[in-house]
Structure 1
């Protein structure tokens, strides 16, 4: 995929570390916002399940539409970055997200399941544009050996957003709706469903305002651009290299895809799971607050993982965390009550370092192919769309049993850490340079 570059024909000059520090601080706010907006879905889904009287398959289809956007929007996003530049693309992504948030207000006013799906796709497309640019940017602007540590550190801000979003959603969506505060099993009248649909208007008004303000700030901030040395390799040079000779990328793409199935399945079915009488017997509003602990564990894990990876190889840390995730998912499936609930919560800690670590291991040694490899890894986020498979398993075999799918996903991550992530055909790493 094309790398974000500055003005055509301008020769890049090295940028001081302090300049990148300021840029990364601002980019951290983007990581925060897209994490926040993504996880609002975890409280939005049980809300919509109640409003539209959906089964688990229909409910998880909402999240599938969200992640399908990553598949369809990744390549157009890269081409847009190539055409208008890195900074304008960030602003465009934020405005696309704001447009989708405003569209959610329309969907709530109707209310319409179909319009809701379309607007969530629009928001996710804006997030995809941000992801295609920001993740490889963070990964390549420092020493390659600390790329996993650096991306884990910035992704911790993403986790801060995911930790706060459930509180926001539980209070402003579930807490202000009849379905969110009712006991499990209560059937709402048509009038109550229509009233509940209106509860998403205020949250998405607030989200739209914040996104527009952030877009204005980004537009006015002197962000450093990616230098010419990390732009796409010349066509003649590209003929000498192949992405598919790099084992860490070939196995890293399905690793991202499979990891997203695990993460999104846990997050989206969490509220429904812990609300069950034999687990915690909570209302959806109460369960939404416990979701904060799941995402809080992910934030703590990323800060800790960033420090640990300064001394221990990223592959080793990833292997240990995948084993931990596998164990707690088995506990979730084969126990009940608070033990099952807290086991599911604890998987957030073990999932914490997986995405940024797999991402940086996947692009390690790609040299001039880094941008194309990054694009493929971002496209693999579409794996979250297969959460609908877990929804089907939940409808067929029961919600608790469906988490066996998550446990199987953890085993592939272990395989990747132990063997798949080993670098083959390593090329010289690109250097980051240049400011606008």
Structure 2
């Protein structure tokens, strides 16, 4: 290119292959702009691994299905409470907090996948390098064009030698005609290559615009995420299967939480909330931050401010999230899974639901789980003795949940394999920020 052979020798084999393919004279053998954009050199520059076919920044962690399914199997009240807790953590924690970084990363992945323009942030720099390479190609084409233009007068000025034998003159004329034809073919090839470079350049520009969430010139505006609309179960299933999660559409439907306004769509807030790890909250938030966050959410749910989440509070909170406003059944599910004692659930059949209320200690147990809540008792609960006797010493609630095992690609009982590996995944991807 441009006669700089030394510089060409430093170019990677993939890049050389990319350029050589674009310089093929035969248009039937030369890749189109659309095909060129799929070349392995460009895919490598954009950080799109062959294993998943998506940029690293948009790759879902191995625990995705488990997280979504675990969140979906919780009672509706817990789902609503955890969504509020997730929003508050994202609002109040510092940007350097690992929990907030994880949630923001999860939010960005969902938005990118939803808009079908999920391109790794670091890709913009690599795309710039690709653009420079295309500009160099255009420069080389320009130099070839100038060389051809310089040859044209030379051919035109060629004169036959009068004393030459007739066969020599014929051969010279034939050579001159063949050279003119070859130059004409090269000119047409250069024109086609120039056109392809222009198309390729526009393609790069479109990718850059889409990766930043902007509409390509003259194209349709990319679909922005509507928090109330969410992601359809069909799209969720397609994304999961594209990223090598093996599950059926029916199994994907089981990942939609009960609290979803529409049972066929997964809301953005629900997706992000599914990745909120309560143990990480304990590890990465100070006791002051944890106290402030949990008390804030409790106060949001305690609509009448009586320091107890009662029947009227719960019915008002859950009615928009439950089909046919089946608040009674949802409340029974909440109380039974909170206490876990068999006699309590049975007694619920005859008790008046209007007398039921959830105090702060019970709320912590609902959100964090009994075991973790008892670890927190001295830090964020004002009456630890009462809480310990009422909650921590009662029958421990154990719930068997069929969880998706990413290693066996099947559904297993309470499998934690992917959840254990999630921390390592997010540590790696946080380093890419």
Q: Shorter-chain-normalised TM-score: which range?
A: under 0.3
Q: TM-score, normalised by structure 2?
A: 0.24
**Bigger radius of gyration:** 2
TM norm structure 1: 0.23
Determine which structure has the larger helix proportion and give its number.
1
